[in-house]
Amino acid sequence: TQLLEQSPQFLSIQEGENLTVYCNSSSVFSSLQWYRQEPGEGPVLLVTVVTGGEVKKLKRLTFQFGDARKDSSLHITAAQPGDTGLYLCAGVAFYGGSQGNLIFGKGTKLSVKP
Amino acid sequence: EAGVTQFPSHSVIEKGQTVTLRCDPISGHDNLYWYRRVMGKEIKFLLHFVKESKQDESGMPNNRFLAERTGGTYSTLKVQPAELEDSGVYFCASSQDGLVGNTIYFGEGSWLTVV
């Protein structure tokens, strides 16, 4: 069974601090996505990374896909209260399954205090 | 443009009863997916439709779950008979195509509680 271990599970920081969320697996993924979910809503796609070593930036968010395509990280610079939410990583298995057959991590619940 | 809509948003049923969840994907999206998250666990894939055909149903837990997408538009997920462990939130999602990098849009979820 493929698993995506996400850490930390919970993170509470002050506005202006930096943070990194990690997503690790012993399996190789063909692509990996990061989602953000707010209470009462479904996950919203932030980014998809496909190439090993790929780095993508989305304003203050930086996403990296590991060289071996087994891990990924999300770094937020100067966090703001609006960044509060549940961050989920999800991977597509390298062998078999459709693109929608996503393997999700359990999520990181981020709280940014003003 | 309307997003993915799911009905009902919340449902409380007794063990042994039947529940049918409905999903309306974004108009024009051929790909429709069902996922669920049970308490304390990660979101898990259930199945994938391309139009009215089941492309991948490897995540369906057992034969108490039946998904349909007649006509390739909306989809239903029926749980019959419901068990306590079926409680959780059921997400539907859709995408225009199934290619890498294509955005999958999620609905708000249908919360199911089996008592």
Q: Of chain B residues 69-88, which have a CB less than 8 A from chain A?
A: none
Structural domain boundaries, residue B13: 5-97
Contacts of A60 (CB under 8 A, 6+ apart): A76, A77, A78, A79, A80, A83
Closest CB to A101: pick one of B41, B58, B109.
B58
pLDDT at site A97: 60
Task: With beta carbons under 8 A apart, name residues in chain B contacting A90.
Answer: 43
Amino acid identity at B44: K
pLDDT values of chain B reduced to their tens digit, one per residue, 115 residues: 689 999 999 999 999 999 999 999 999 999 999 999 998 899 999 999 999 999 999 999 999 999 999 888 999 999 999 999 999 999 999 998 877 777 999 999 999 999 9
pLDDT at site B1: 67
Task: Quote the number of domains for chain A.
Answer: 1
Q: Of chain B residues 40-69, which have a CB less than 8 A from chain A?
A: 41-45, 48, 55-56, 58-59
Question: Does B16 reside within a domain?
Answer: yes
- CATH number for the domain harbouring residue A65: 2.60.40.10
| A102·B35 Cβ contact <8 A | yes
Question: Does B37 reside within a domain?
Answer: yes
Q: Does A41 touch chain B (CB under 8 A)?
A: yes
pLDDT at site B78: 98
Question: Does B38 reside within a domain?
Answer: yes
Question: Does B91 reside within a domain?
Answer: yes
Task: With beta carbons under 8 A apart, name residues in chain A contacting B99.
Answer: 99
Question: Does B90 reside within a domain?
Answer: yes
Higher pLDDT, A83 or A95: A83
Question: Is A99 a residue whose pLDDT tops 80?
Answer: no
Question: Is A94 a residue whose pLDDT tops 80?
Answer: no
> Whole-number mean pLDDT of chain B?
94
Task: Quote the number of domains for chain B.
Answer: 1
Please report the DSSP string for chain A in residue order. Answer: ----EEE-SEEEEETT--EEEEEE-SS-EEEEEEEEE-TTS--EEEEEE-STT-EEEETTEEEEE-TTSSEEEEEESS--GGG-EEEEEEEEESSSS-TT-EEE---EEEEEE-
> Quick one: which of B82, B108, B93, B109 has its CA closest to B12?
B82
| A42·B106 Cβ contact <8 A | yes
- CATH number for the domain harbouring residue B93: 2.60.40.10
Question: Is A69 a residue whose pLDDT tops 90?
Answer: yes
Question: Does B62 reside within a domain?
Answer: yes
CA nearest to B100 within chain A: A99
